[in-house]
Amino acid sequence: MNCEVCQLKELEVGHLEFEIREVLRCILHTILFHRALGLVRPKDVDLELFEITYVQCGDLEIEKKIDEKIEQFISWVEKHPNKKSQICLSFYEVKNKQAFLFTHKIERLYWEQWYINLNVSQLPRTHSGKSHRSKVVVDPGAMIIESSMEESSARRAALEASLRDVLFQIIKFVNEKKDHVPPIPNREGVVSYPYEITIPSSSDSAFGMDVFKRMLQTGHPTMLS
């Protein structure tokens, strides 16, 4: 099977914990809802930031895992501000590899990868308390404050539109590419396919290593059954 990769549109997110969390939750849950093909009781969640309602599987395990990863990501962003980052949600199949490069290793066959591209930027003027504003010149004056508020709302509006685009992007991808999805395993639970969420690691180079490792783990097409 090929590994289908979907690069989602880049989102300009402000350096606001709440904003990052909301956006990531929305995207991750939406993707997982399309991929957790076990019996689900869908749960509608209204975003607080925007007028967007997304759907969760209603599974606590998934929710917990997603929140954990988001918190890790936020800590990473704190250490690496003003950077473009990627979160990868991968679905794989577990194959017991008997012989190959990594013998006696449980091989993961990734059949789908979603890349969530975020550009976490420092907000202009005085906004979040977390941002490092050493370079921001706080100009006293109502006009400046007003313009910053306008900028903020414009930025939010742009983010909402982008988020909608991303959600539709997910929907289209799910619709167009169905053949690569493995058969639904006959197992209990909501989660049909194992998945993992990868956040950027401490060093940039390591990220590349992760990708390389994944490529190796994917295995040779001939090895696939």
Partner 1 sequence: MEQIITEFFAKSLQIILESRSPYMSSRNYSGEQAVSSPSSSSSSSSSVRPRDKWFNLALRECPAALDNIDLWRQSNLDPMVVDVILVQRPVDFDPVSFSPKRNSVRNLSLKERYPMFVNSDQEEFGCEEKSEKIIERWIVQYESRMSRDTCHGSSRRMSNSTLYKKTILLLRSLYVTVRLFPAYKLYHDLNSSSQIRPFTLTHRVSSFVEPFTRQEEREMQKFVFTPVDTSCGRLCLSVLYHSSVSDISSEPSTPLSPQVITDYVGSPLADPLKRFPSVPVPGSASHGSPSFSPFVRRHSWSFDLNRASQPFTSFSPSPTHSEPHATNSNPSSRRFPPSSLPPHPPETSSMHKKDPNFDEYFPSPFSASPSPSASPSPPIRIPGSHLSNALLRSESAPVGIPTAKLANSPAFKQNLPPSPPLKSSKSSTSRSDKSTGVTHSGTPNEKLRQCSGLKLSSNNSPRVSFSRSSSRSFPDDFDESDFACAFDVEVEDITDPGSRPESFEQNVPLCDPLEPGGGSYATRKSADAAVGALVLMLRKAPPLRQDFSKSVANSSGVPRVETWGDSNTVLDSNQISEGLVPVQHVASSSVMASGLVTSKTTADALEELQGYRDLKNFLLSQGSKSHI
Q: Interface with partner 1 by CB under 8 A: which residues?
A: 30, 33-34, 37-42, 44, 46, 51-55, 164, 167-168, 170-171, 174-176, 178, 181, 183-184, 186-189
DSSP secondary-structure letter at 116? E
Tokens at 164, concatenated:
């909608």
**Angle in degrees, CA 32, 111, 159, rounded to 5:** 45
CB of 41 to partner 1, least distance (A): 5
CA neighbor of 20 nearest in space, from 61, 81, 90, 63 = 81
Nearer to partner 1, 44 or 48 (CB): 44
Q: Closest approach of Cβ 55 to partner 1, in Å?
A: 5
Output the smallest distance, CB 51 to partner 1, in A: 6
Q: What DSSP designation does 223 have?
A: G
Q: CB atoms < 10 A from the CB of 165, how many?
A: 13
Which C-beta is closer to partner 1: that of 48 or that of 51? 51
> What backbone torsions phi and psi does residue 134 show, to the nearest 5 degrees?
-65, -30
Tell me the backbone φ, ψ of residue 7, rounded to 5 degrees. -95, 115
| 129 vs 183 by CB, closer to partner 1 | 183
Closest to partner 1 by CB, 135 or 187: 187
Q: Crossing angle of helices 60-79/17-35, nearest 10°?
A: 140
Closest distance of CB 62 from partner 1, Å: 14
Q: How far is the CB of 155 from partner 1 (least distance, A)?
A: 20
Burial 79-117 (b: 16+ CB within 10 A, else e): eeeeeebbbbbbbbbebebeeeeeeeeebbbbbbbbebe
| SS3 category, 117 | strand
Closest separation between CB of residue 89 and partner 1, Å?
Answer: 16
